[in-house]
Amino acid sequence: MKSDNMKAGMQQAPARSLLNALGFTPEEIKKPLVGIVSSYNEIVPGHMNIDKIVNAVKLGVAEAGGMPVVFPAIAVCDGIAMGHVGMKYSLVTRDLIADSTECMALAHQFDALVMVPNCDKNVPGLLMAAARINVPTVFVSGGPMLAGRIGGKKRSLSSMFEAVGAYASGTMTEDDVKEYEEKVCPTCGSCSGMYTANSMNCLTEALGMGLRGNGTIPAVYSERIKLAKRAGMAVMEMYRKNICPRDIMTKDAILNALTVDMALGCSTNSMLHLPAIAHEVGFDFDISFANPISEKTPNLCHLAPAGPTYMEDLNEAGGVYAVMKELADIGLINTECMTVTGKTIGENIKNAVNLNTEVIRTTQNPYSKTGGLAVLKGNLAPDGSVVKRSAVVEEMMVHEGPARVFDCEEDAISAIKGGKIVPGDVVVIRYEGPKGGPGMREMLNPTSAIAGMGLGSSVALITDGRFSGASRGASIGHVSPEAALGGPIALVEEGDIIKIDIPNMKLDLDVDDAVLEERRKKWQPREPKVKTGYLARYAQMVTSGNRGAILENNFKA
């Protein structure tokens, strides 16, 4: 046992005395030590139920012969952090979570781990940590929220943000907004559409790091508690078989996850997190991988905000396994990849059934023949940009219009809500990238304002920042290189014509190269927005969005 490094032999008697102080019995000290990473807190709705999940995991571990020990991971609620300085602290927690979990797990020499995340950065942060630590590890999330209901129709958090825009445009009253406020988020859990949290929890299943239902069983269902118990039992079986995360999170598994991403229509944030996870296992993930996979992968699901279905509907239709079975049947999934069940993907999904072909379309009748995401390149984004094309209306798939340029999110929101953005415009929000923000804020407020103002089918938004999974429309993010690095987005001027061609994966600025070169000579780096604390250190080390906003080690050996 790895934990024998800190608890076995005369030399480790002091450590055993401290375990004794914790109330461990001699019998418990002899058992494999299983760390349970709890993301529980009382500020994130997706995490308020995690204490119950953790208790169920502990029962499963103990029943299967392990000694469960809980330690914490932080979590930020993106919805609560949205639209103010708090959003600068969202993406950056991914690396804090990975780093702190690595520290705890290795300092205390755990034999195995069960990760209990739920919301946006906890899932990728803990997957990154699992790859680094590389002891038997199973994931079990807190589960998705049930959809709200207003006027007999299902609604979610994206509806709430759009209601604010509708109020600004005069199409909703204050009482209407109040009703949304009280009803769109009716239970605990990660927000009910295919937003980033649910995207990553579903992709954890596709990677093979979570049991069936990890991404889709609603937070309030008793089945979620049963799943947690099974996760605790599963990690002990992995321990006995010595199956570790790097046996599971291979290059093929990551490409499987990207394929499932395309079919589900996941959040664009997956194109930050999959490269970061791949980096931890030594796989250089270029976001351009997305396009050839997208070109051959049909989009089978239109979950909110892209369509009228929600996570509870996906769960009832057969969940992630049913989607993977549809893809495997046409040869798009590597079925030989190992999983936390001790079985291959192929063995896991062989009996999966699609129970609702409207929620999960068949591969013969997809929403589109191509996947949910696309990477656009051109002279405005030489290193790439990302769009959730499954959430773009047909009339905006090809668009050109004048740039309306803003150097921060707040100025753009003021212009949108002030009626200064008109049909045909291309809103450009820059200096909001990983380094320039710093922290690469999500732009759900401006995208929701555009939709709420009735401009969703006539206005595009381009940024070196990123988007919430709740964003919809012609929202193109992760523009790289970012403005803070002198990328072409820093050279755009008010009124320049921007050309968007999503089917051909192009994003171009219609300005002569010579003119751009003159602008480049005049460009000067901006003063850092934050000069102290964690954000300042983060800004010095972080890469652009096309590399997953990973932290680069600048220290020379």
Distance, in Å, from the CA atom of 25 to the CA atom of 36, rounded to the nearest integer, reads: 19
pLDDT tens, residue by residue, 198-242? 999 999 999 999 999 999 999 999 999 999 999 999 999 999 999
Q: How far is CA 545 from CA 1, 98, 286, 483, in A?
A: 40, 18, 11, 11
Q: Mean pLDDT over all residues of the chain?
A: 95
Confidence band for 555, pLDDT divided at 50, 70 and 90: low
* Strand pairing category for 33-38 and 475-480: unpaired
Distance, in Å, from the CA atom of 442 to the CA atom of 465, rounded to the nearest integer, reads: 6
In whole angstroms, what separates CA 443 from the centre of its chain?
14
Coil, strand or helix at 101: helix
Distance, in Å, from the CA atom of 83 to the CA atom of 413, rounded to the nearest integer, reads: 9
Confidence band for 554, pLDDT divided at 50, 70 and 90: low
Dihedral sign, CA of 30, 139, 286, 378? negative
Does residue 416 contact residue 473 with C-beta atoms inside 8 Å? no
Structure tokens at 42: 């009382």
Residue 237 assigned to a binding site: no
What average pLDDT score do residues 268-296 get?
Answer: 94
pLDDT tens, residue by residue, 398-438? 999 999 999 999 999 999 999 999 999 999 999 999 999 99
pLDDT at 286: 86
Please write down the HEC assignment for all residues of 252-263: HHHHHHHHHHHH
Please write down the HEC assignment for all residues of 72-84: ECCCCCHHHHCCC
User: Does residue 41 have a pLDDT over 80?
Assistant: yes
Distance, in Å, from the CA atom of 475 to the CA atom of 461, rounded to the nearest integer, reads: 5
Burial zone of 418 (CB within 10 Å; 0-12 exposed, 13-18 middle, 19+ buried): exposed
In whole angstroms, what separates CA 339 from the centre of its chain?
21
Q: Which residues contact residue 194 at a Cβ distance below 8 angstroms, ignoring those fewer than 6 apart?
A: 202, 264, 265, 266, 267, 301, 303, 304, 305, 306, 311, 469
Please pick, among 192, 385, 468, 475, the residue that the annotation labels catalytic: 468
Q: Which residues contact residue 97 at a Cβ distance below 8 angstroms, ignoring those fewer than 6 apart?
A: 73, 74, 75, 121, 122, 125, 126, 128, 129
Does residue 465 contact residue 442 with C-beta atoms inside 8 Å? yes
Burial zone of 282 (CB within 10 Å; 0-12 exposed, 13-18 middle, 19+ buried): exposed
Domains, the chain, ranges and CATH? 1-27 (no CATH), 31-146+187-350 (3.40.50.2300), 149-182 (no CATH), 374-545 (3.50.30.80)
Polymer length in residues for the chain = 557
pLDDT tens, residue by residue, 297-352? 999 999 998 899 999 999 999 999 999 999 999 999 999 999 999 999 999 999 99
What average pLDDT score do residues 523-531 get?
Answer: 93
245: cis peptide before it, omega within 30°?
Answer: no
pLDDT tens, residue by residue, 46-82? 999 999 999 999 999 999 999 999 999 999 999 999 8
| Of 164, 123, 448, 449, nearest in space to 304 by CA | 448
User: Does residue 83 have a pLDDT over 90?
Assistant: no
Residue 407 assigned to a binding site: no
Residue 120 assigned to a binding site: yes
Distance, in Å, from the CA atom of 315 to the CA atom of 492, rounded to the nearest integer, reads: 44
Does residue 196 contact residue 270 with C-beta atoms inside 8 Å? yes
Confirm whether 544 is a catalytic residue.
no
Structure tokens at 136: 């038997």
User: Does residue 469 have a pLDDT over 80?
Assistant: no
User: Does residue 289 have a pLDDT over 90?
Assistant: no
Distance, in Å, from the CA atom of 8 to the CA atom of 26, rounded to the nearest integer, reads: 12
pLDDT at 361: 98
Q: Which residues contact residue 267 at a Cβ distance below 8 angstroms, ignoring those fewer than 6 apart?
A: 194, 195, 196, 199, 200, 388, 467, 468, 469
| Of 200, 282, 212, nearest in space to 249 by CA | 282
Give helix 444-452 / helix 157-169 axis angle, nearest 10°.
Answer: 50
What average pLDDT score do residues 454-473 get?
Answer: 90
The residues facing 508 across adjacent strands are 499
pLDDT at 102: 98
pLDDT tens, residue by residue, 479-502? 999 999 999 999 999 999 999 999
Residue 121 assigned to a binding site: yes
Distance, in Å, from the CA atom of 116 to the CA atom of 137, rounded to the nearest integer, reads: 11
User: Does residue 557 have a pLDDT over 70?
Assistant: no
- pTM (predicted TM-score): 0.95
